[in-house]
Amino acid sequence: MRHLSLSSVNLAQAERSPWLDMLSVLRDKLLSNPGMYRFALSNPLTRWFTQQRTRQVFDVMAGFVHSQVLLACVRLKLFEKVMKEPKTLQQLSQLTHVPEAGLQRLIQSALALNLLEQRSAYRYGLGPLGSVIAMDEGIKAMIEHNNLLYHDMVDPVAILQDSWSGQLNDYWPYAQEQSADAAHRVEHASDEYARYSELMAASQTFVIEEILSSYLFHEHHCVLDVGAGKGRFACALAKKYPSLDVNIFDLPHVTQVSRQLIEQKGLSSRIKVHAGDFTNDVLPEGADLVTLVRIAHDHNDDVLLGLLKSIFASLPAGGTLLLAEPMAIEPGEKPHGDAYFHFYLLAMGSGRLRTPSELMHLMKLAGFSHLETVPNAMPVHTRILLGRKSLSVSPS
Ligand SMILES: C[S@@+](CC[C@H](N)C(=O)[O-])C[C@H]1O[C@@H](n2cnc3c(N)ncnc32)[C@H](O)[C@@H]1O
């Protein structure tokens, strides 16, 4: 049985003014009135809003088809095939071994979704969205990986039950180890750890860019990246900041993989690798900055609080924690990838998407102060929080 943590009550939402509720009731009445819909469409002042909202409803309803069109394009390597030179339907049919009639439906759908674009002489090239996907192996790897979530969500009500379990939970060995029905630790083959570490490394590019372009590491002399995966972020840090001592910490099966990458990049003398389990082992000391990149959301509140306390204990007075991952919206903010991440973590069977305030609350409980957010350009990839261990804290 899964034991997921409940989101704490969002106080700001609970305190929403009753006056705003009355406005919402009025809006609901207007929007659900068929006469009002026809009036709004015929009125030039309101037509655009009505069309926009109707399109949004349609897109939400059709979202599962859109994601499968995308998956088909990725599996058939359509983006790669048209990247250098646009191709005709016949050429693409020969290259993909898909009959023209079926492929034409896929291409028409991909055109409608801006994945492909019509070019001269009845050829097809990359569309504005296809260009972004074509250049990034990480996005393609995630699109393929999302097929697990697609299967898990086939009954979107069953997945809400405590007793539910599916393919994504199997994919992440450490999520199973935390679930309450795992009576004893399951022994997983090292290739399961290598498989998810590959995926994480491939999908970390944009996250690394966000962190490195938003936070200056000059004030630190030693960093420990906890849950570092293959160590791509550590390698990027070591390269960008030649005087920074870099350490990574992850489960033993994963550090086997990270050692290989670090060696390949010629950074073995710059990056020290520590193998361990942060739920049991003490974190190495010596770093004045600990980074947690895409870690907190994988864990339930009790495990996360334990980890934050271990990090706090490992830091010297004045030390810093940098926590980076996608976060849930606070009231009034525009959603980034909330629906996706809420269900991804639900299917994974461990952890949850938290708001910056919820994370800061847990950081505070662990002892951190001077909590702040670091503004960054693309919150869908990650948001960034900082916490400090106050200078006045006596060494433990
Ligand atoms: C979602 S991945 C993120 C990896 C990397 N930080 C990134 O952003 O690509 C989570 C990482 O936390 C590690 N991890 C999970 N549980 C752990 C534990 N109990 N002790 C140490 N590492 C753990 C996993 O092995 C994995 O590498």
pLDDT tens, the chain, 396 aa long: 677 777 754 444 556 788 888 888 888 888 888 888 888 889 998 999 999 999 999 999 999 999 999 999 999 999 999 999 999 999 999 999 999 999 999 999 999 999 999 999 999 999 999 999 999 999 999 999 999 999 999 999 999 999 999 999 999 999 886 554 444 445 567 889 999 999 999 999 999 999 999 999 999 999 999 999 999 999 999 999 999 999 999 999 999 999 999 999 999 999 999 999 999 999 999 999 999 999 999 999 999 999 999 999 999 999 999 999 999 999 888 888 999 999 999 999 999 999 999 999 999 999 999 999 999 999 999 999 999 999 886 554
Per the CB < 8 A criterion, the answer to whether 336 and 353 are in contact is: no
Superfamily of domain 192-388: Vaccinia Virus protein VP39 (3.40.50.150)
Q: Please name the helix (run of DSSP H) or strand (run of DSSP E) that holds residue 386, with its range, or none.
A: strand 383-388
Which of the following CATH numbers is that of domain 33-134: 1.10.150.120, 1.10.10.10, 3.40.50.11540, 3.40.50.300?
1.10.10.10
pLDDT of residue 185: 44
Every domain of the chain with CATH number 3.40.50.150 lies at 192-388
Whether 227 and 323 have beta carbons less than 8 Å apart is answered as: no
pLDDT at 187: 58
Structure confidence at residue 11 (pLDDT): 45
Please give the pLDDT value at position 6.
74
Q: Does the beta carbon of 278 sit less than 6 angstroms from any atom of ligand 1? A: yes
CA distance 57 to 43: 20
d(CA 191, CA 228): 17
Give residue 75's pLDDT: 98
Residue 322: Cβ within 10 Å count: 21
Probe target for ligand 1 pocket from 198, 251, 307, 323, with the most ligand atoms within 8 Å of CB: 251
What residue ranges of the chain are covered by domains with CATH 1.10.10.10?
Answer: 33-134
- The residue whose CA is least distant from atom 22 of ligand 1 is 250
Q: Please report, for residues 70, 169, 180, 200, 227, the alpha-carbon distance to residue 261 in angstroms, rounded to integers and kept in the order given.
A: 30, 27, 34, 13, 15
Compute the distance from residue 15 Cα to the ligand 1 centre, in Å. Answer: 36
Q: How far is CA 8 from CA 13, 159, 315, 362, in A?
A: 11, 20, 28, 11
Ligand 1 neighbourhood includes 253 CB (under 6 angstroms)? no
What type of residue sits at position 46? T
What is the largest distance, in Å, between two alpha-carbon atoms of the chain? 74
277 lines ligand 1 (CB under 6 A): yes
Q: From atom 24 of ligand 1, which residue's Cα is the shortest distance away?
A: 227
Nearest to 360 by CA among 348, 369, 350: 369
Task: State the pTM of this model.
Answer: 0.92
Q: Which two tokens stand for residue 137?
A: 């192996």
Other CB atoms within 10 A of residue 250 CB: 26
Check residue 98 and give its pLDDT: 98
